[in-house]
Amino acid sequence: MDDDLIVDDDIQRAESLPARTFTDESIAQRERETIFARQWLMLPERTTLERRDDARTLAEQVAARGARTPLSFLDRSLFLQRGWDDDALRLFPNACTHAWYPLVHGPSRGNAIACGQHGRKLDCAGRFLSQPGFKDLPDFPRACDHLRASRALEWRGFLFTSLDTPRVEHGEAFAEIDASLAKMPLEGLRLAPLDHEIRDVAGNWKQHAWNYMDSFHVTYIHRAPGGLADAIDMSSYRTELHRWSALQWAYARDARAGFNPDELPERFRDPAGRRVFALWWFVFPNLALNFYPWGLSVNLYLPVPGKPDTTRFCWFHRVRDAEKYARRDRDWLSAQVDAEDVDAMAQVQRGLRSGVTPRGRFAPEGERGPHWFHHLVSRELRALP
């Protein structure tokens, strides 16, 4: 019955994932049990649609030993906890192992967590410590009395988790990205507040990831004059596909919108003197890390449980050059490209509702990125090794 989930690894023969994978809640559920359980997922800097009073990033909130903070992620109520005896970060379900009362109600710090309903105490590694009334119970505590931790870690000021056993180590998934950033000064980037940090937008999360991997649409949706297709030298556009990540990049038409060549590895240097406009990194399944000379723009495409046709679209900016950042809409077309993409996905969503949506074919050169993404989703959804 899964035959229609197969995407051929040969782009010449392949057809896209079927429309139902973009609309069915049963597929979304399966994605949560496979793709979103076993990949490294970035935790959003802020986790609710409302802006929080706490202006610190998530990483800053749990920087100190014993610090903890609650968060909602993929509709799950969780909390992040920094170790007390070790430096490890752990992500726990925000539910007491006794009778499921939430354990953490706001950012706090200490060597133990005390449950507000019947006084159970747990340590910062999630181990049961004590509880009144349980003195003479045999075989106590058992494994079920301790909290079950998911792994969490910090990468360049961002937090990641693998809710279940990860498919691959984080360092391996990020190896090519790290290599491309080896000469770029990225420490201490400032988080700049945006109006649209978190929005619910039309379209399944895969549509947005697919669109991100699609260079074919650039000359149409972001067309010249005045569009991205003008700002970059389209003839230099490259898509580099790795196992879990993919890089797209191009030279800028105007050298002022390009990287200083010393900030990038030698392989990006152009003998003709053109400068790289951006490094657009995609990390499977749902993260885009867009490196510009002004800093980093992050897109996170989060599925919304129960609403497969909606994506919680997170957008965060980290600034390293304030003067260039002030030019982001003029030289890098930041707001324009975002608006064009969000609108295009709303249009595709409308197309999906036509009721007649055959599986598509891929242009062998121009759609290597989309094919790579569909093929990977297909494999991971079917839990192939």
- List interacting residues with ligand FES (CB under 6 A): 96, 98-99, 101, 115, 117-120
User: Residue 147 Cβ, how far from ligand FES at the closest point, in Å?
Assistant: 11
HSE-CB at 381 with a 13 A cutoff on CA atoms is: 24
User: Residue 119 Cβ, how far from ligand FES at the closest point, in Å?
Assistant: 6
Contact between residue 205 and residue 311 where contact means Cβ atoms under 8 Å apart: yes
User: Residue 198 Cβ, how far from ligand FES at the closest point, in Å?
Assistant: 31
Output 128 or 313, the one with its CB closest to Fe ion: 313
Output 134 or 216, the one with its CB closest to Fe ion: 216
Output 125 or 304, the one with its CB closest to ligand FES: 125
User: Residue 113 Cβ, how far from ligand FES at the closest point, in Å?
Assistant: 10
Output 99 or 137, the one with its CB closest to ligand FES: 99
Output 7 or 342, the one with its CB closest to Fe ion: 342
Helix (H, G, I), strand (E, B) or coil at 228: helix
> Total residues at the site for Fe ion (CB under 5 A)?
1
* Closest to 313 (Cα-Cα) out of 333, 298, 335: 298
- Distance between CA atoms of residues 292 and 332, nearest Å: 8
As a residue count, the chain comes to: 385
Which does residue 115 touch among Fe ion, ligand FES, none (CB within 5 to 8 A, set by kind)? Answer: ligand FES
User: Residue 114 Cβ, how far from ligand FES at the closest point, in Å?
Assistant: 9
CA 154 to each of CA 83, 187, 291: distance values in angstroms, whole numbers, following the listed order: 14, 13, 18
- 335-345 as b/e: b if 16+ CB within 10 A: ebbbebbbebb
The 3-class secondary structure across 159-205, one letter per residue, is: EEEECCCCCCCHHHHCHHHHHHCCCCCCCCCEEECCCCCEEEEECCH
Question: Does residue 341 belong to the site contacting Fe ion (CB under 5 A)?
Answer: yes
User: Residue 118 Cβ, how far from ligand FES at the closest point, in Å?
Assistant: 3
User: Residue 98 Cβ, how far from ligand FES at the closest point, in Å?
Assistant: 3
Which does residue 341 touch among ligand FES, Fe ion, none (CB within 5 to 8 A, set by kind)? Answer: Fe ion
Where does residue 153 rank: exposed (0-12), middle (13-18), buried (19+ CB within 10 A)?
A: middle
Output 92 or 277, the one with its CB closest to Fe ion: 277
Which does residue 208 touch among Fe ion, ligand FES, none (CB within 5 to 8 A, set by kind)? Answer: none
User: Residue 61 Cβ, how far from ligand FES at the closest point, in Å?
Assistant: 23
Which does residue 96 touch among ligand FES, Fe ion, none (CB within 5 to 8 A, set by kind)? Answer: ligand FES
HSE-CB at 230 with a 13 A cutoff on CA atoms is: 12
Question: Does residue 367 belong to the site contacting Fe ion (CB under 5 A)?
Answer: no
- Distance between CA atoms of residues 342 and 258, nearest Å: 25
- Distance between CA atoms of residues 249 and 52, nearest Å: 35
For residues 192-221, which are near Fe ion according to CB under 5 A? none
Output 120 or 206, the one with its CB closest to ligand FES: 120
Output 26 or 117, the one with its CB closest to ligand FES: 117
Which does residue 243 touch among ligand FES, Fe ion, none (CB within 5 to 8 A, set by kind)? Answer: none
99 phi/psi in degrees, rounded to 5? -145, 30
Which does residue 101 touch among ligand FES, Fe ion, none (CB within 5 to 8 A, set by kind)? Answer: ligand FES
Tokens found for residue 57: 């990033």
Helix (H, G, I), strand (E, B) or coil at 130: strand
231 phi/psi in degrees, rounded to 5? -75, -25
Which does residue 167 touch among Fe ion, ligand FES, none (CB within 5 to 8 A, set by kind)? Answer: none
Contacts with Fe ion, residue ranges (CB under 5 A): 341
